[in-house]
Amino acid sequence: MDCFQVPPEGDGGLPNDFYWWWKMKGVQRIAIVDPNDKTREPLRNLLLGVDAVWLEAECSRYEFFIDVARQSCPDAVVIALDSDHHKALQLIQQLTLEFPHMPILAVSARGDGQSILQALRAGAKEFLTAPVVLEELLLALQRLRANRGSAGGDTSNSFNGQTRAESLVVSIVGSKGGVGCTSLAVNTSVAMAQDPKNNVALVDLDLALGDADVALDLIPDYTLADVAMNVDRLDMQFLRRSLCKHESGLSLLPHPVQMEDISLIHEEHLGRVIGLLRASYSHLVFDLSKRFTATDLTAMRMSDVIILVAQLELTSLRNVVRLLHTMDKEEGLGEKVKVVMNRVGSEDSDITMEKAQETIEKPIYWQVPNDFKAMFGARNAGVPLMTHAPKSKVLQSLVGLANALCGKAPAVAPKKERRGFFSFR
């Protein structure tokens, strides 16, 4: 068959409610043309593995594709050039004239400058070198949708209703051990997952001693080590199967079970995993280790926000100063950092919030009240605060933090405190 196209609504094809489902989800409808079966099949399989993409039509003849585009009106088209470079470039020119706002992605094994320039001059908006890598394909499709939106076309780019432009990657790192990073990571992620528009994943990057799976009482079938060992054949479907789903809606990619498996995970593996996760999930949260490893730095570099968790305690504040100084040395890293003060109101602390801000020379982004009973009870029960203590002040604070990170509520500056006679000076 030279062309395949999804049957139109009400024409004996798929049910109407299915069409409404994918239309409302805002998936990107793609049509592809490639006369070569050996290269078309891998490309088709890549696209079929992406939930945010609907393969509207595929065609094996350049001369038929213009009619396919007229009938299906896809959000973007992918044109393989190598079967007949001249015909493919003519097709791009014809599509550009007839559909000036339709984004075109050209694919060719000839990645030299002249081939790229010819495709772009003909009207292609993006160029990928074959064989196509999934991460590069996803980024190219994302840029095509953004360009279509800026040109007055469809601006939606969603996964489960969440626009990709609003995707958020958050790294959570502690100023020392025991400051509550995992509790904040787990409960903030669960709070984000309560919004049906969000598709949230938590990745436990405390590779040696992480316990996010324990906090959620999950027994995973796969871990980050399994993903790393299969990184050469990693695709979207395998990656999603590797995450375990919590009843709250949160997905978790846990740390390796065996200590010896930690050595399997390298920063280049993690970079690829994060790229795929960001294409699949609207919100990513990383629970980092306390050792500033290469994988920790990779996660922070690829994050939009870095939450630095501290307490009103001298060692913690000293480490905050050291960490901020280190992050400021790397371009773009220091400006991402937001300091969150945990366990505020503990009777063990004589340091005021005002003095803490003076010490670290940075505003406190958020304060989480001390509620040892609720936190300790939730951790021991293996359930999030939303289940164990839904009315607790600490949960309300973490819901507020999640909303602030997602842009739904402004961060509240800490109130000035009156210094007592024995306050830290």
- Any idea where the domains of the chain sit in the sequence? 3-159, 167-405
Contacts with 135 (C-beta within 8 Å, 6 or more apart), sequence order: 272, 275, 276, 279
Q: Is the bond preceding residue 410 a cis peptide, omega within 30 degrees?
A: no
Mean pLDDT of 352-373: 95
For residue range 244-272, what is the model confidence (pLDDT) as tens digits? 999 999 999 999 999 999 998 998 889 88
Q: What pLDDT, on the 0 to 100 scale, is given for residue 422?
A: 37
Kindly report the pTM of this predicted structure. Answer: 0.70
Indicate the pairing of strand 364-369 with strand 53-59.
unpaired
Residue 98, both tokens: 């007839």
d(CA 123, CA 119): 7
Architecture of domain 167-405: 3-Layer(aba) Sandwich (3.40)
d(CA 59, CA 68): 8
Helices (H), 194-262: 212-215, 224-229, 236-242
201 compared with 71, residue with greater pLDDT: 201
- CATH placement of domain 3-159: 3.40.50.2300
Q: What pLDDT, on the 0 to 100 scale, is given for residue 165?
A: 43
Indicate the pairing of strand 200-204 with strand 283-287.
parallel
For residue range 194-227, what is the model confidence (pLDDT) as tens digits? 999 899 999 999 999 999 999 999 999 999 999 9
3-159 and 167-405 have identical folds: yes
Residue 217, both tokens: 């009482």
pLDDT at 423 over 60: no
Indicate the pairing of strand 28-33 with strand 76-80.
parallel
Q: Are 239 and 178 in contact (CB under 8 A)?
A: no
- Residue 180: its H or E element: none
